[in-house]
Each structure stands twice: as C-alpha cells, then as structure tokens.
Amino acid sequence: MVNKLGQMKIQQMIFMVLAVGLLFLLVGLIFLSVAFRNLKESATNLAEKDSMLLVSKLANSPEFSCGNAFGTSRINCVDFDKLMALKENIEKYSSFWRVAKIEIRKIVPSSEVECKKENYPNCGVIKVLDLQVDSLTSSSVFISLCRKEVNEFGFYDKCELARLVVAAEDKT
Amino acid sequence: MKLKIKNKRGQIEIPFTWLFAIIVGIVIVFIAIYSSSRLVDVGQKTTNVQTGKEIQVLLNPLETSFQSAQTTSITIPSETRINNKCEDFENFGRQGIQLDQKNLGKWSNTETSTWTNNRYIFSDNITEGKKFYIFSKQFNFPFKIADLIYLTSANEEYCFKDAPQEIIEEISILKQENLYFENCPQESITVCFESGPCNISVDYSRGYVKKGTDFLYFAGLDDDSTALMYAAIFSDKSIYECQIKRLSVRLKTLSKLYLDKEDYLSEKGCETNLQSDLIDLSQAEIQNSEGFQSLQENVNIMNENNDGRICSLW
C-alpha cells in the first residue's frame, strides 16, 4: 500500500514537472516569436528607410549622374545616354545597390514604351534593374533626365522631367 | 509531508520525492539561468547588428550632396568598437561594419557584420569610442568614382602641422572637433606636411603618406587630390589598400560605361576622341595604391581632353 502510494506521488511529481516544463517552453516560445516579429519589423523598416535614402543617393551616383556633361554639376540629374549604357551592362551591378528594382519613368512627355537601344530616345520607361523578386513599397524622386540632341543649329542639351523609382527586396 | 532526516543508524535519509523535486528544481533553475543568459547575449548581438545597419543607412545622405566635403557625428550610448571590414574579391568587393559594445565592463563579441557593396569607409581596423565623426568627399579620377567616407573616433584627435592652405580651409569649413591646426592637445596624432617627428608624414607633392614603415600612395586630379590623401591619413594600410582595389574595379567598370556612352554620342555625330584612353583605363592592371597612382598622368590628360568639349563624357 505504501509502495503504491509512493508510485502515485512520483507519477504526480513527474506530471507536475512536465506541466511546469511545458509552461516554461510555451512562455519561451511566445516570447521568442514576439521578439522575432519585432526583429523582422525593424529589419523591414530599415530596408524601407535604406531604399528611401538610397533613391536620392542613386540619382547622384557616378553610374547615373550627369556630372559636368551638361554644363555645371546639377543635383538629381541623370544622364540618359549613360543610363542606356548602364542598362546594357547591368549584370555586373545586379547586387551592387542591394535593391530589387530600379526604374526611371518619364513624366513629361509621358510614355509607357520601354526603352531599348532600337527605340532610344523615343520611349518612356527605362527598366534599369528588375531582379523579379518580392519587393517592399517603392520610393521615388523627381529627376531631370538629360541627353545630347542635335538639330540644324548644332548640339544642345535636352532635359526632361522623370521619376526615379527604387524598391528594396522583401526578405521577410 | 514529514521529512525524515535520520534513520536508525544515524544516516541521513531523504524521501525519494524530495530528492527528485530537488534535482528537477536544480535542472529547471539551471536551464532558466542558461537560457536567459543566452537570450541577453543574443539580444546584445542583435542590437549591435541593428546599430551597424542603422549606421550604414545613416551614411546615405552623406553621399548625396554636391558639397566638396561634409561632416556629421554619431553618438552611441555605450562604449562601442566599430570594426571596419573590407573585402576586395567578387566584382566590386564589399564593405562591412561590425559593432561590439561594452556591457558590464565586458566587450560583446558580435560575429555578424552588415555589408554593402556601394560604400567605401576609410578608418582604422577598429575605431573605439562613444562619439564618432564621419565626413565624406567626392573622389574624381577623372570622372566621379565614389564618395569616400572617413570615420574617426572623438577619442582620437589629429593635429595637422604645416598643412597647405587649401587643406586648412577645407578642414576648417568642416568644423570637425577632433581635427586641429593649432593649440593641439598633447595626446593628439600628429600629421606633418613638412619634416618633423610625427606619427603620420604626408608628402603632398609626391603623393604619399608615411605611417611608421608603411607607405600609402594617393592620387587625384590636378586641382584636388585630397580625397585619397585623407583616406590614407585616417585608415590602416590594410583597409586603405583593400578599398583602393575596390575603387579600381569601379573605375574600370565606369570606364566601360563611358565607352558605351561614347557609342551613343557617336551615333548622334558627337565625337569625343577619348575611346583609346578609356579602353586603356578599363584594362589597367592595378594591384595596389602605387599602381593606382601611376595612372595619374593619363587621367589628368583625359580630364583635359574632356573639359570644354561640346559633347563631354562626364
């Protein structure tokens, strides 16, 4: 009788220990899932903030900017000729800016025709980079898209209003 | 429950349930202490990585402006070591930041770095402090290659002796509190532009910075070769040479872009006559800063040929 009572108590104790263990495990899992959700959120926020700040930086980076090619240095001025050259050599830059998409859309004059070597400059959308992955909300900045043009009086600079759009990769 | 302490022979006798409960209790307490210490450790590392990423994000605006040079500061609440990581393999190489913070007198050991490919940070391998100064400057050779970022700790003060007027003017505009020209603090790192007992010697005309036995060569356009000079002053040789290799790759890739741009201009009938120079530049073999400096003469000629043209490439 004493033996059976002892066994009962041990069983009770084991159940109790298991219950306490499971409780701790559950609390731990809830805590970790909350912590990781916060971490993911802050990673996403940082990626969005990065792409928002990157978009202004990108327009002035050497691969995009006009430099002094159209007179003096201008902020947010993108060289259309250089951009087409970049589009053709983009595989080398695929992970350089660590973004999912870089696109330039002419606003004035507006056009949905994608720019290729054959139809350049009579087009409106330049898809510089598209990694075909899930992307976060895109950020954009207004730019002047400049190129050299020629008419009966000689060469002149032609600048059009456009929008540079950048989207970061969604890694969540 | 009554605890039997002694049996008939005087031996200590504890009931099995008590013994079991004590052992399980000890195990649970041990697991709780271990997992909480691991959680604190992981939390610290997460904070370090997050702060590293935030610093990388904050550097973006520094590379946007057209100002000749601009400065900013970052203050981190606890004592921090910023480890500058530079890798020159794979395409453009990459720039990493790894942060270790002091917690209860002990440095955390974060193995994770945050990486970017499009940034060039010049600093010592490890920069330690709570307040950090960051300034950036555009590097043109002959066209814009990148914005270089210089990172120093407020704990390190630099004393520029006999610096040329243009450098005094440029640094004075920055108003960076750890850079001095006169009334230098005693413990400051001396940077001499003429002979003298100094920590760092700069030969501005020949284009090199001497640190102990190390020579770090710099180059730039005729009117401004200070971008790489500051880089050589503020960084360790290993970081400097690694960043130079990364900049060389970008220089060569940009040369190819300008070559292709020239094709577009030629189609419009606008010739630039820079094709052969750009081909040479895109194929240049650059192993170190000395090799980079050897391009200086050609680059200056290219810049002269590009300047003032109707169809200038950059």
Are B314 and A68 in contact (CB < 8 Å)? Answer: yes
SS3 A97: coil
For B261, the closest of A35, A73, A85 (CB atoms) is A85
Which band of pLDDT confidence, cut at 50, 70 and 90, is reported for residue A148?
A: very high
Query: Is a pLDDT exceeding 70 seen at residue B76?
Result: yes
Which residues lie closer than 8 Å to B127 by C-beta, 6 or more apart?
Answer: B81, B82, B84, B151, B152, B153, B156
pLDDT tens profile A115-130: 999 998 999 999 999 9
Preceding peptide of B142 cis, ω within 30°: yes
- Indicate the domain borders of chain A: 43-167
- Chain B (253-272) residues lying within 8 Å, Cβ to Cβ, of chain A: 253-254, 256-258, 260-261, 263-265, 268-270
Which band of pLDDT confidence, cut at 50, 70 and 90, is reported for residue B176?
A: very high
Say if CB B53 and CB A46 are below 8 A apart: yes
For A63, the closest of B24, B60, B257 (CB atoms) is B257
Which band of pLDDT confidence, cut at 50, 70 and 90, is reported for residue A103?
A: very high
For residues B147 and A61, give the distance between their C-alpha atoms in angstroms, rounded to a whole number. 8
Which chain B residues are closer than 8 Å to A150 by Cβ? 268-270
Q: Side chain identity at B65, as an amino acid letter?
A: S
- Chain A (88-107) residues lying within 8 Å, Cβ to Cβ, of chain B: 88-89, 92, 95-98
| Lowest mean pLDDT segment, chosen from A156-165, B15-24, B102-111 | B15-24
Mean pLDDT of B286-294: 94
For residues B186 and A33, give the distance between their C-alpha atoms in angstroms, rounded to a whole number. 52
Task: Kindly state whether A57 is in contact with chain B, defined as any CB-CB distance less than 8 angstroms.
Answer: yes
- Site of tokens 């610093």: B55
